[in-house]
Amino acid sequence: MYLFLHRLERVLYRITSISGWVAAVSMAALILLVFGNMAARYLMGFGAVWLQELEWYILSLSVMTAIAYAMRADEHVRVDIFSSRLNRKGRMWLDMLTMTLVAVPVAILVLYYTWPFVQTSYVRGERSPNAGGMPWTFLPKAMILLGFFLILSESIRKIISVGRRLSFHYRRPANPPRNRNHAA
């Protein structure tokens, strides 16, 4: 069981790492695309509707893959006036409760509501209302699914990781072994 959780944690860690990488690469692509679209129009008088719309597609990809990665980096807007007074254990419990009681249910709910939204768009073959625009409107819509799936996966990773540290904390014997450096 412990081994399974350990492996799962590592897999989920990899998933979040990959999503951060995708977010960064697509962010670079986004910057170049917006710049390229502008340059093409000003310098060559060339512009295509689908290339403008592609900007939103990439924005949604970058943003939705970035959130899980930012979660792991703990880049959050939060008010820590009280929580900063908690000790390490207290903060771990806060993380544990936030992830299990809030993050996981929120992610599952958003996935639940988004699934039919994406499915409808896919089944109907929805495309841009602008002629010459992008096909596959379901793709940017599906990014919401991807994003919250990654949030869910990162939340589970955090639960396992905090749980491991907490159980370690409680299992630790009352008199911890003496400092190894000292012994050596």
Residue 113 within binding range of other proteins, rule CB under 8 A: yes
For the chain, how many helices (H) and strands (E)?
Answer: 6, 0
Q: Pick from 1, 4, 84, 175 the residue near other proteins by CB under 8 A.
A: 84
Separation between Cα atoms, residue 62 and residue 64, nearest integer Å:
6
Q: How far apart are the first and last CA of the chain?
A: 34
Residue 127 within binding range of other proteins, rule CB under 8 A: yes
**From the CB of 39, what's the least distance to other proteins, in Å?**
9
Residues in contact with other proteins, counted by CB under 8 A, come to a total of 73
Q: Pick from 10, 14, 80, 169 the residue near other proteins by CB under 8 A.
A: 80
Q: Which is nearer to other proteins, 15 or 94 (CB)?
A: 94
3-state SS, residue 158: helix
**Contacts (CB under 8 A) with other proteins, residues 148-177:** none
Residue 89 within binding range of other proteins, rule CB under 8 A: no
Q: Pick from 12, 54, 141, 157 the residue near other proteins by CB under 8 A.
A: 141
Residue 66 within binding range of other proteins, rule CB under 8 A: yes
DSSP code string of 1-47: -HHHHHHHHHHHHHHHHHHHHHHHHHHHHHHHHHHHHHHHHHHH---
Separation between Cα atoms, residue 144 and residue 164, nearest integer Å:
30
Residue 119 within binding range of other proteins, rule CB under 8 A: no
**From the CB of 23, what's the least distance to other proteins, in Å?**
4
3-state SS, residue 87: coil
